[in-house]
Amino acid sequence: MRPFNPSLLFTQSKLTSLILSLSLLLNFQNQKTQPFPPLELTQKAKTQTFRIKMENLFGLVDHEDLFSKRCIWVNGPVIVGAGPSGLATAACLREQGVPFMVLERADCIASLWQKRTYDRLKLHLPKQFCQLPNLPFPQHFPEYPTKKQFIDYLESYAAQFDINPRFNECAQCARYDETSGLWRVKTVSTSNGGATRNEFEYICRWLVVATGENAECVMPDIEGLGEFKGEVVHACDYKSGESFKGKNVLVVGCGNSGMELSLDLCNHNALPSMVVRSSVHVLPREVCGKSTFELAVLMMQWLPIWMVDKILLVLAWLVLGNIEKFGLKRPSQGPLELKNTKGKTPVLDIGTLEKIRSGDIKVVPGIKRFTNGFVELVNGEKQHVDAVLLATGYRSNVPCWLQEGEFFSKNGFPKSPFPNGWKGNSGLYAVGFTRRGLSGASSDAMRIAQDIGQVWKQETKQKKQRTTACHRRCISQF
């Protein structure tokens, strides 16, 4: 890869910017006639004509920026994030014949799965709801693939569709340049364990945000936690309960992470207490051997959501019994309605309830404060604690880097609810933000690729026609 680096060629002057603009223009229009090193093109992308007016290029070229950074023109969309959503979008674009560039802050694909999840993790939903477009899971995979199997699948997915992200590149800022009609994505790239730091600027027509709903950990602000002497670990750094054997561990949070970490701690002979500060829907993962999720999807085809919720709660009561007596109060809204309106995922039980029933996992109410190795709860109880696990969830990081206020709201999710949250204005797209897990990401990816593919094909056709016409004119002149 040879990035275009004008600073090596010229000194900063007005003349330079003129030549630079000309060079950019020539690059955009005809790769064969360029006087300077070629602008970076995505993988095996072919040159595409791009109608950019000369005066717009002057607007685009921010002199200081260009001379301190390396500027890379991307033919096709830039996809930020190489998790399942980014990979699915890239694969669908590949199918459409659209070139692309994937930028990833970590040094691997699917970094959430590879680096920020615990060892015992398995997919919660049956595999047919978790596969990405155009490549089913291998037949020998179990109904609920393990984390390792899912990562292997994603690796082969990337290989199959020839997806080669630029790793260790974190998007720091992206904004739409009204004058040129292009997106400018600034990144910082690190190598040698962070010792070398480079800045790049990608210029593209389409920007696909694929940084995920779970990009950053939520660290709660609890009185005394900063001074707590024992170990404090967020769920994203927890691997297994092995090192907690015999310890009193306070698990803060009762979502899927809190429930599974508590179970794992129990299985490693630790003594977990799980904080339930409000309410939670717990559903069995399966009812009579059939996935609860699958049943819900089936029922949703015929019944209104409130009725499906009622049926799910009756089934949950039949399979799990009354969970409120263990301190697990159910929310007033049904599980699907709550997911749709507040984004709160119901817990699919894979054995934690049994341990709660047996008393191996203690359920405690909200936390008041931490003091000298003790936790004080809102009911006045005090408990000795050796370690604290924060299963307090995650958040989107989009507002930290995307300078845009129309499509995304302040919480980093698209303002328009499903099914309209995938496309913004000016070539902006979002994949994997519908709170519908992997199946939601797949359907976003297909829509986005189709949308961009249509424009791409149209323009490719027009470009071919223009090139032929221009060629004829040149011949006639000589």
Ligand X SMILES: NC(=O)c1ccc[n+]([C@@H]2O[C@H](COP(=O)([O-])OP(=O)(O)OC[C@H]3O[C@@H](n4cnc5c(N)ncnc54)[C@H](OP(=O)(O)O)[C@@H]3O)[C@@H](O)[C@H]2O)c1
Ligand Y SMILES: Cc1cc2nc3c(=O)[nH]c(=O)nc-3n(C[C@H](O)[C@H](O)[C@H](O)COP(=O)(O)OP(=O)(O)OC[C@H]3O[C@@H](n4cnc5c(N)ncnc54)[C@H](O)[C@@H]3O)c2cc1C
Footprint on this chain of ligand X (rule: CB under 6 A):
121, 123-124, 214, 220, 222, 235, 252-258, 260, 275, 277-278, 345, 366-367, 391-394
**What, of ligand Y, ligand X, none, does residue 248 touch, CB below 5 to 8 Å by kind?**
none
For residue 51, the minimal CB distance to ligand Y (Å) is: 29
DSSP secondary structure, 107-121, as one string: SSSSHHHHHSS-TT-
Q: Does 344 bind ligand Y (CB under 6 A)?
A: no
Distance CA(66)–CA(17), nearest Å, equals 10
Among positions 242-261, residues that touch ligand Y (CB under 6 A) are 257
Signed CA dihedral, 185, 180, 209, 152: sign only: negative
Nearer to ligand X, 270 or 275 (CB): 275
For ligand X, give the closer residue by CB, 214 or 442: 214
Min. distance of Cβ 118 from ligand X in angstroms?
Answer: 8
Burial class (CB in 10 A: 0-12, 13-18, 19+), 379: exposed
Cα separation, 99 vs 45, in Å, equals 5
Residue that has been written with the tokens 């779970």 in this structure: 214
Of 77 and 437, the one with the shorter C-beta distance to ligand Y is 437
Nearer to ligand Y, 125 or 283 (CB): 125
Strands 169-177 and 182-191: antiparallel
Tell whether residue 213 is a contact of ligand Y (CB under 6 A): yes
Report which residue's Cβ sits closest to ligand X: 255
Closest CB to ligand X among residues 73, 144: 144
Give the nearest distance from C-beta 258 to ligand X in angstroms: 6
* Total of chain residues touching ligand Y, rule CB under 6 A: 35
Residue from 375, 365, 377 nearest 224 by CA? 375
Name residue 101's beta-bridge partners. Answer: 78
**Nearer residue to ligand Y within complex by CB, 182 or 210:** 210
Residues in region 103-132 near ligand Y by CB under 6 A:
103-106, 110-112, 117, 121, 123-125, 130
Residue 380's SS3 state is: coil
Q: What tokens were used for 358?
A: 């047996």
CB 196 within 8 A of CB 446: no
DSSP annotation of 408 reads: B
Q: End-to-end distance of the chain based on CA atoms, in angstroms?
A: 37
194, burial (CB in 10 Å: exposed 0-12, middle 13-18, buried 19+): exposed
Neighbours of 267 (CB within 10 A): 15
Cis peptide before 399 (omega within 30 of 0): no
Structure-token match 């040698």, residue found: 192
| Number of neighbours of residue 292 by Cβ within 10 angstroms | 22
- Asked if residue 385 binds ligand Y (CB under 6 A), the reply is no
- 327 alpha carbon, distance to own chain's centre: 33
Contacted by 355, from ligand Y, ligand X, none: CB < 5 to 8 Å by type: none
The site partner of 252 among ligand Y, ligand X, none (C-beta below 5 to 8 Å per kind) is ligand X
Peptide bond just before 419 cis, omega within 30 deg = yes
State the DSSP code for 417: P
What residues from 164 to 203 belong to the interface with ligand Y (CB under 6 A)?
A: 170-171
Query: Least distance to ligand Y from the beta carbon of 438, Å?
Result: 4
Q: Interaction with ligand Y in 76-95: which residues (CB under 6 A)?
A: 80-86
| Segment 412 to 441, residues that bind ligand Y, using CB under 6 A | 432, 437-438, 441
Cβ-closest position to ligand Y: 83
Choose among ligand Y, ligand X, none what residue 105 binds, the Cβ cut-off being 5 to 8 Å by kind: ligand Y
- CB 335 → ligand Y: shortest distance, Å? 16
Question: Nearest distance from residue 344's CB to ligand X, in Å?
Answer: 6
CB of 327 to ligand Y, least distance (A): 23
Q: Which stretches of the chain bind ligand Y, using CB under 6 A?
A: 80-86, 103-106, 110-112, 117, 121, 123-125, 130, 170-171, 210-215, 257, 397, 401, 432, 437-438, 441
